[in-house]
Amino acid sequence: MPRVVFTPNIQRHVECPAMTVGGRTVREVLDNVFAANPRARSYVLDDQAGLRRHMTVFLDGELISDRIGLSDPVGETSTVYVFQSLSGG
């Protein structure tokens, strides 16, 4: 099953331990994580269920292409990394 990892900077705001969950797309995987951790959902997703502007998701080390539908396919041994984007100078 895919593994989902949240970076430590997100953990400062909402507890999101790494989890192994089922799912064939990024959406399904994250929905399964958020079913167990609903508080994390509102931190990562906006009110339209798309990725918030300040969030970034990598799938097996590659930036996902679908930030709105989260339809990127996830393999059985994939790792989904959820980052809080950083900006500034």
Whether the per-residue pLDDT at 87 is higher than 70: the answer is no
Q: Is the dihedral of CA 37, 43, 45, 47 positive or negative?
A: positive
Indicate whether 89 belongs to any domain: no
Domain with 70, as residue range(s), is 3-84
The pLDDT of 1-26, averaged and rounded, is 93
Residue 5: HSE in the Cβ half-sphere, 13 Å Cα cutoff: 11
* CATH number of the domain to which 54 belongs: 3.10.20.30
The pLDDT of 11-32, averaged and rounded, is 94
Ranking 8-12, 37-41, 65-69 by mean pLDDT, the lowest is 8-12
Please give the model's pTM, rounded to 2 decimal places.
0.91
Say what the pLDDT of residue 69 is.
97
The percent of residues in the chain predicted with pLDDT above 70, rounded, is 96
Tokens of 24: 């064939």
Count of domains for the chain:
1
